[in-house]
Every structure is written in C-alpha cells, then in structure tokens.
C-alpha cells in the first residue's frame, strides 16, 4: 500500500509543480501583455499631448493673425477716412 501512496504523492507533487509552471508562464505572459499595454497607453498619451500642443500653437497663431489683421484693418480705415476728408496722416 505504501508504494501506491508514494506514487500518488509523487503524481500529485508533479501535477502541482506542472500547474505552478503553467501559472508562472501565464503570469509572465500577463506581465508581457501589461507592459505592452502600458507602452501603448504611454504612446497614445504622448501623441494626444502632441496633438493638443499643436492645436494650442495653431490657436495662438490664429489669434496673432486676427490681431494683426484687425490692426491692419484699423490703420487702413483711418487712412481711408483721412484721405476722404482731405487730411494727412
């Protein structure tokens, strides 16, 4: 009876070790997948920040152009009015 018990114990131990190895392999895969996911999320974050920065710069440039255009328009309007009324600038 003893050899059978030993055999069962060895079999159970072997099964346990095998399942531990499988779990370890799954953990490693999960770790790899998590690292990949983190890299992907970080890359997306950087791309989003880059787009937002570009959009802010574009908006600043539009505001700058609008102010510049507004100023040019005002000077032109004043010059036109002055010319129309016969005065000099």
Query: Residue by residue, what is the 3-state secondary structure of 63-86?
Result: HHHHHHHHHHHHHHHHHHHHHHCC
Give the model's pLDDT for residue 29.
77
In angstroms, rounded to a whole number, what is the distance separating the alpha carbons of residues 77 and 79? 5
Q: Which of 64, 63, 65, 88 is nearest to 78 (CA)?
A: 88
Give the model's pLDDT for residue 16.
60
Q: Encode pLDDT of 8-66 as tens digits.
A: 665 566 556 666 666 777 777 788 888 999 999 999 999 999 999 999 999 998 888 87
In angstroms, rounded to a whole number, what is the distance separating the alpha carbons of residues 82 and 76? 10
pLDDT score of 2 more than 60: no
Give the model's pLDDT for residue 62.
87
């Amino acid at each position: 009876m003893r050899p059978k018990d030993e055999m069962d114990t060895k079999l159970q131990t072997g099964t346990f070790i095998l399942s531990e190895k499988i779990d370890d392999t799954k953990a490693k895969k999960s770790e790899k997948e998590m690292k990949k996911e983190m890299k992907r999320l970080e890359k997306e974050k950087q791309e989003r920040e880059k787009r937002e920065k570009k959009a802010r710069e574009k908006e600043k440039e539009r505001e700058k152009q609008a102010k510049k255009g507004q100023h040019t328009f005002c000077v032109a309007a004043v010059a036109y009015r002055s010319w129309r009324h016969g005065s000099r600038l």
